[in-house]
Amino acid sequence: MFKNLELQESTVRPFKTHKNFTFSNNDSGSGIWGIKARSGSLYNYISASDAVTEVVSGSVTTRYFSSPTWHMLNQTFYANHITASYNPGLISRNLNTSASILSVGRDLFGEEIKPGSLDLSVTIGSVTFDIRDDGDGNLYDNAHSASFSTFKTNKFTSGSTTTTNAVGSGSEVGNIMYGQGLLVFTDTGSYADAATSPFTLKYQATHTIYEYEYLVKAKPFEFNTSTNISLTPGRSGSITVKEGAVSMSNFFPPSHNPSGHGTGSYATFYNAASESLPMVTGSEFKPYVTDIGLYSEDNELLAHGKLAKPIRLSDDIETTFVVRFDV
């Protein structure tokens, strides 16, 4: 028994989910790499003369040359850095002649690193730094969080696009590109080797889940028959099909009549039974709903829900079932 659903009887609601991740430089092949970048002319560029960072993942080795990497970084995020992804009045973008990049693989953060969730502990030499993100795309040293807070208050004008190159107070050490999984350390002093030093990185990944909801409505006297085979006379318990049987009519109750769907010599196998048990033919009989299936226009079963307990349909009012699932 099928019934078409109206458009207004379905809704889709997206919501974001987050998962905690923790990695360190000891996690071989984790998908997090440190890369060096340095400004230099690309005119008559010779790669053999350039510094290179090699990243090994399984049997694949990728080489990142410092000068092209710097120009890519500058062109993508700094030379034209006012993008819809960030509030330009709350982010400082200032790329020096060198930088170090900590790159997180796409499969490790999903759609983006959740703003405000990053916690990076990195040891450079004998000093361990606690690097955080401020939720607006800036990286800062948490030991100087008060100084950074003052810097943002005094140096940035919320909503302005003219103060984005303000010089930091010393606590602002770089930027994070949430949607690309890039931590860029632009400070050329104490934090210059932050991406290539021993670290422990914690953050939250982001993934959007879509909640589908369908209202399946049964009006009075709809769905008042049953396809349960036990309603066919002689069909209680199990049935054994004898060898050479030419009809399977006892396998289909009267309300299930797929005649004509068979092909060739199997056509006669699809005739429904001709009668039901007397108990289900009276007006007092009302079936119970135990399962609900959602089908495509091609009659493909897309989703199947089973009720916690059978529900008897009402003779007087409409019965509505809410089918909800996440994708």
- pLDDT of the chain along its 327 residues, tens only? 788 988 889 999 999 999 999 999 887 667 898 999 999 888 888 888 888 888 777 778 888 899 999 999 999 988 865 554 456 667 778 888 999 999 999 999 999 999 999 999 999 999 999 999 999 899 999 988 888 887 777 655 444 444 444 444 557 899 999 999 999 999 888 898 999 899 999 999 999 999 999 999 999 888 877 767 677 766 554 555 555 555 555 555 555 544 444 444 444 444 455 677 777 766 677 778 999 999 998 889 999 999 999 998 888 899 999 999 998
Q: What is the pLDDT of residue 74?
A: 92
Pairing, β 182-185 against β 172-177? antiparallel
Alpha-carbon distance 6 to 85, whole Å?
Answer: 37
In a domain, residue 272? The reply is yes
* Whether residue 204 is found in the same domain as residue 235: no
Same domain, 169 and 261: no
Domain of 275?
228-279
In whole angstroms, give the CA distance from residue 152 to residue 239.
79
Q: What is the dihedral of CA 266, 272, 273, 278, to 10 degrees?
A: 160
Q: Are 85 and 234 in a shared domain?
A: no
- Does 32 reside within a domain? yes
Residue 66 lies in a domain: yes
The tokens describing 243, both together, are: 């060898």
Same domain? For 52 and 121 the reply is yes
Do 224 and 251 form a contact (C-beta atoms < 8 A)?
no
Whether 64 and 50 have beta carbons less than 8 Å apart is answered as no
Rg, C-alpha atoms of the chain: 33
Q: What is the DSSP letter of 75?
A: I
Burial class (CB in 10 A: 0-12, 13-18, 19+), 322: exposed
184 Cβ neighbours under 8 A, 6+ residues apart: 73, 77, 95, 99, 100, 101, 139, 174, 175, 176, 177
Q: Is residue 31 situated within a structural domain?
A: yes
Is residue 201, in this structure, part of any structural domain at all?
yes
**What is each CA distance from 271 to 123, 224, 266, 281, in whole angstroms?**
77, 21, 10, 20
Whether residue 197 is found in the same domain as residue 258: no
Within a domain: 301: no
pTM of the complete model beyond 0.75: no
Backbone angles phi, psi at 204, to 5 degrees: -115, 130
Q: Which of 159, 181, 210 is the last residue of a domain?
A: 210
CB 148 within 8 A of CB 171: yes
In whole angstroms, what is the distance from residue 57 CA to residue 55 CA?
A: 7
Q: What are the backbone angles phi and psi of residue 115, rounded to the nearest 5°?
A: -55, 135
Alpha-carbon distance of 67 to 74, in angstroms, equals: 11
Let me know whether 121 and 262 are in one domain. Answer: no
Residues near 209 by Cβ (< 8 Å), separated by ≥ 6?
Answer: 14, 15, 16, 17, 326, 327
**314 part of a folded domain:** no
Let me know whether 84 and 189 are in one domain: yes
Q: Tell me, yes or no, whether 98 and 137 share the same domain.
A: yes
Domain count, the chain: 2
Residues 262 and 264: their CA atoms lie apart, in Å, by 7
- Contact yes or no for 85/178 (Cβ under 8 A): yes
For residues 51 and 173, membership in a common domain is answered with yes
Q: Which two tokens stand for residue 26?
A: 């000891």
Q: Is residue 53 part of a domain?
A: yes
Q: How many CA atoms lie within 13 A of 325 on its CB side?
A: 10
Check whether residue 51 and residue 176 sit in a common domain.
yes
Do 236 and 180 fall within a single domain? no
From 279, 300, 318, the end of a domain falls on 279
- Structure tokens given for 112: 């983006």
Please tell me whether residues 88 and 176 are part of one structural domain: yes
